[in-house]
Structure 1
Amino acid sequence: MALKKLLFFTVLTFFLSNFALTQWQFVGFQTGVGSFPSISVSGPNTVAIGGGPNGQPKVYLSINGGVNWTTLGTTGLGTLEFYCIWMKDANTIFTGDGGAVGGAGGNASYYKTTDGGATWTVLGSTGGSAGFINGIVFSNTNPMFGVTESDPPLGAGQPYYLSITTDGGVTWTVTNPPGVSGAASAQNSIVVIDDQWYGFGMNAGASRVYYTSNGGSTWNVGNLGIAGSFISGFAMSTDKLRGIAISNTSLPNVARTTDGGQTWTSVNTGGDVTGYGTVKWIEGTDIVYISGQTGASGVVKKSTDGGVTWSTMTTGGITGLTHMEFFKDVNAVGITIYGYAVAGDGSVIKLVDMVTSLNPVNSEIPTEFKLQQNFPNPFNPVTTINFSIPKSSHVTLKVFNSIGQEVASIVNKYLPAGNYSEQFAATSNLTSGVYFYKLTADGFSDTKKLMLVK
């Protein structure tokens, strides 16, 4: 009996500890963040909040996972509260303010510090009488490329204000994408994949996003076809095909694209996610998070299949979530995702989400992508397929019949660099004949032939 009790409590402890690692928990509280604070993460325990009360720009920094916070200096800053923030590390931080005091907008500015907030430098100002700096975002795949985005400085429907950097934020070049009738843009809705694909959510009229897929040469409107017009969250996969967007109203308010933003369909997340919803797609994976409100309670939804299905996460009873960000740490067994979200009252919640992957067959790191011939071949009913990936990537390994129809998905997940061995077991409905298996990873693709003989 004692042994059974020990085993029970051991299993229970294991379950609870792992459950806690994959749910949000309250970690700290910071006063004076303003009504719409933003958050940025540069490491597992390094996080910053940008905000401030009316007319008081504030940046707060934590280096112990949100437990304790330091108020950074304001030398060189203006007198307007911040509406967005992006940190490269604890020393290098970018922020953008909200234009005129009181939220009217206009002549918004964006800043940079390289000494942990001791001094700040003005990088640029929008001019005009309308708009806010709604986002400063750098590409995860090309960290030297970043975009600062503002509402149209001359009012809704006029050209937008974008400032582009290709040297990590040292210098910036202003561009002005064409305006869209009646629309400005939404705070923290900007998404940047690389120097070709970036965009943001609109805030008026029909539910729409605005994006470029060719580095700003042309701009496209994506009509979401969902309720609401304020698109507060927008995210894309690094494949530049799949994306999720959310409005700040009630259902149906989440949409999904699989063709790079051209067409969108409504998605059922299993319940309302209203308020200033945020969407974040974890680079190189199929994991997507949505944050917002359900009634009076904060809520975070999670998808592990690119937004097709969703589960609800706990949020520690926090209300009024305004923004969330993530840091992805690649390790030997997969990835660990560190997430932080902030609420309008200054509450901060944290997520540590461990995602395991397939186990490499050995510890050797290959130097090239490679798909090997299956063995045995011909086979019945099981064969082995070996492949190698020299860098962490989202990997798919699929089997197709002779007319191109998918008959099996063997691998469809994020994997660290390594050599892998997978088995394909032909199901009873597959007939004898020639089939093809295809490996895709980080732009690499290779297809080989296999033969099933029953």
Structure 2
Amino acid sequence: MKSKFILLFLLAFSICFNAYSQIDPNEQVSGNSFPLKLVLPRVFAPEPYGVDAVISVGAFDNYQVSTNNGFAETDIAVNPRDVNNFVASDNRVTGFSGTPWVYYTTNGGVTWSNTAIASNQGDPVFCADSLGNFYCAVLSSGIRLLKSTDKGVTWTNLGNIVSNANADKEWIAADQTGGPFQNHVYMAYVNFATGASVDFHRSTNNGATWSFVGNMGTGNPNPGPDVAVGPGGRVYLAWYNGGTQVRVSTDGGASFGAFVQASFHSTPGAVNGSGRNVLKTDIRVNGMPHIAVDMSSTSRRGYIYNVYAANPPGPDASDVFCTRSTDGGVTWSSGSPVRVNDDAAFTDQWMCDVSVDLQGRVWAMWWDSRNDEASNMMTETYGAVSTDGGLTFTNFKISNQNFNPAAIKIFQGANHYYLGDYQGIAGRTMTFPFYTGQNNTLQDFTAYLPDYGISFNKTIDSINPTSTSVVRMRNPVMGPYTGQVTYTSSITPSPAPGTFTVSYSPGNIRTFNGNADSITINVLASANVPVGLYTDTITAVETGGPRIHKRAYQIRVGNFVGIQQTNTEVPQVYSLQQNYPNPFNPVTNIKFGLPKGSFVTLKIYDMLGKEVASLINNLNMAAGNYTYDFNAVNVPSGIYFYKLSAGEFSDVKKMTLIK
């Protein structure tokens, strides 16, 4: 009985070991792979995905796709037959902390929905074939394949491509050329049973059956292979081994040529006590390659791009680089890699990916700490775009909230923490980066690339009845956005009685050609508009596309008598005089002098520092002496402060209102 109990215990332990060990894939160091360990992810309350909450911070929107924390390793794919159809997920597909969700959108990210798949061991990666079928490969005591024929709404478990408890870091790609290899799907993975080798398999019947092609090479540490398909059905297989090594197949994956070194680079970070390369506070990192092929109809069709994080010479521990091939993978710019991130600081850039859209624009994404030079800890998702075939990149910030990796890292053992080993980006006409971490969560976010934004030159404007509020609306771009956008205004609460009349200069329909734009919003208040605070919400809708953005500013309507220039003499210095009369009820005049033209702000505050009235808001005024007659008819008795800001001058004085 005792021997049977031990046998059953060992069998149960072995099952658990295999079920969980690949959630934390182990790297190699000095040619030796780490033994597999029992590593569990964080457990979160089971909640559905698909909330698609708009995160409107700053000028640009982010979109929160999940409603509770996932487990990193985000990936995304787009349907070649429907540019508005994407599927995505993260390591929550394991099902360890609830239902294993995959989420999808069929309307270009306006809304996201979720659907369940079979439980597995994580590392989800996606691709789509020329027919619009989606494939999802996951670890499951080997490599399991799931397929969707209805745009990601439902998924069929096709079983394991490989049954191998030592399988790790798989990647998949499908032929989208419509040529002789149009039914082919390809998969590569790391086989730790054979010394971290890169094993390659292919299917010639849309994933129904698979055949093993061969061992393509090895890598140290974890080679982390990537697969891409280019024009003519050429298959590119890349992995890490002292840099990026690439092999090319011209016969649908049946055979491959000798490897070519696409880059020479070391793994980012530094080796710590666990034997792994780490950044921040013992968070593991890697130098695995990420490749993408230009499938556009431009002159750069067929170019291949290799993007990776590396530890460059000097004090920087991690930067993002790109090399390229312009001749089908025969030669590479390995001797002259392009640094993708353009910051001047020695902060970390890591966890990158790359995608090429149908205009031939090369999009890259990564985590970036450039805005925290002091501690090199707070992190944001950054992106870059190249419109010249990877020769130069323009950087921009994607996420509108930062995060602290040390606050959300996942314990994996002594001196070893985890925030995933990859994240994804994909697109054809619009591109979606799919990332985690923002705002100190492990929730999943995305954003439109390229995109336009909205901001205002002032958050509040003060006017009298019968006068006009003038606010400048800025419309920056993230990436080379082109398209037509219509802007409309909605003012709440609706005044009763009275009306607001809105006009735009030069108009409310604007055409973007890759550059920022601006519009002046004029809001005329009729004479009988009640005194109060109103909100003007601007809605921007692009023509023929899914991008819709909203921002708001406020209009304060009051009985402000107004400002007068008292004489034409120009004072020698800035000045702010004591109001007169003081105390007053209800009108007092505030005099000030400007020795030169300045942008002027004059505001009233109560004893607690709360703004009571904005008399002048960043108004460009000529040199001279001025008097502002302030009518406090709607302000209660009390002690108040008025502050003048003009250029570099600022002064505050006290006044008393007695009714």
Which blocks of at least 5 consecutive residues in structure 2 are unaligned? 1-55, 268-285, 296-300, 312-317, 370-378, 404-419, 452-479, 484-659
Name the structure 2 match of 1:163. Answer: 201
Equivalent-residue separation in structure 2 for 1:35 and 1:273 (angstroms): 19
Name the structure 1 match of 2:394. Answer: 311
AA of the residue aligned to 1:63 = T
Per-residue CA deviations over 1:344-379 (Å, capped at 9, x if unaligned) read 53112222467779xxxxxxxxxxxxxxxxxxxxxx
1:28-47 correspondence to structure 2 within 5 Å:
28-30=64-66, 31-42=68-79, 43-47=82-86
Change (3 A) 1:319 1:195: farther
Equivalent-residue separation in structure 1 for 2:482 and 2:111 (angstroms): 30
Name the structure 1 match of 2:213. Answer: 175
1:124-135 correspondence to structure 2 within 5 Å:
124-132=160-168, 134-135=170-171
The structure whose Rg is larger is 2
Change (3 A) 1:41 1:91: closer
Change (3 A) 1:124 1:313: same
> Does structure 1 residue 98 correspond to structure 2 residue 139?
yes
**Tell me, what secondary structure is at the counterpart of 1:351?**
coil
Name the structure 1 match of 2:149. Answer: 114
Name the structure 2 match of 1:291. Answer: 365
Name the structure 1 match of 2:427. Answer: 327
AA of the residue aligned to 1:314 = K
Name the structure 2 match of 1:416. Answer: none
Equivalent-residue separation in structure 1 for 2:76 and 2:167 (angstroms): 20
Figure out how many residues of one structure are paired with residues of the other and give that number: 317
Q: Aligned match of 1:246 in 282, 292, 308?
A: 308
TM-score (norm 2): 0.43
**Tell me, what secondary structure is at the counterpart of 1:154?**
helix
AA of the residue aligned to 1:226 = H
- Larger relative contact order (Cα-Cα within 8 Å, sequence gap ≥ 6): 1
1:418-437 correspondence to structure 2 within 5 Å:
none
1:199-218 correspondence to structure 2 within 5 Å:
199-203=236-240, 205-215=241-251, 216-218=255-257
Contact 1:247–1:277 (8 Å) recurs in 2: yes
Contact 1:84–1:96 (8 Å) recurs in 2: yes
**Tell me, what secondary structure is at the counterpart of 1:176?**
strand
AA of the residue aligned to 1:39 = I
TM-score (norm 1): 0.60
**Tell me, what secondary structure is at the counterpart of 2:339?**
coil
Change (3 A) 1:90 1:241: closer
Contact 1:33–1:52 (8 Å) recurs in 2: yes
Equivalent-residue separation in structure 2 for 1:294 and 1:83 (angstroms): 23
AA of the residue aligned to 2:146 = Y
Contact 2:128–2:174 (8 Å) recurs in 1: no
1:1-150 correspondence to structure 2 within 5 Å:
25-30=61-66, 31-42=68-79, 43-53=82-92, 55-56=94-95, 57-74=100-117, 77-87=118-128, 92-99=133-140, 106-115=141-150, 116-132=152-168, 134-142=170-178, 143-150=182-189
Equivalent-residue separation in structure 2 for 1:87 and 1:217 (angstroms): 22
Q: Aligned match of 2:353 in 278, 281, 293?
A: 278
Using the aligned pairs only, state the percent identity: 14
Equivalent-residue separation in structure 1 for 2:362 and 2:232 (angstroms): 22
Per-residue CA deviations over 1:45-64 (Å, capped at 9, x if unaligned) read 32221223373243112234
The root-mean-square deviation of aligned C-alpha atoms, in Å, is 3.5
Contact 1:131–1:153 (8 Å) recurs in 2: yes
> Does structure 1 residue 193 correspond to structure 2 residue 230?
yes
Equivalent-residue separation in structure 1 for 2:111 and 2:133 (angstroms): 19
> Does structure 1 residue 351 correspond to structure 2 residue 467?
no
Change (3 A) 1:243 1:95: same
Name the structure 2 match of 1:301. Answer: 384
Change (3 A) 1:54 1:289: closer
Equivalent-residue separation in structure 1 for 2:392 and 2:115 (angstroms): 41
Q: Aligned match of 1:224 in 243, 254, 263?
A: 263
AA of the residue aligned to 2:224 = A
Change (3 A) 1:303 1:64: same
Equivalent-residue separation in structure 1 for 2:130 and 2:114 (angstroms): 16
> Does structure 1 residue 236 correspond to structure 2 residue 293?
yes
**Tell me, what secondary structure is at the counterpart of 2:167?**
coil
Which blocks of at least 5 consecutive residues in structure 1 are unaligned? 1-19, 100-105, 329-335, 358-454
Change (3 A) 1:327 1:182: closer
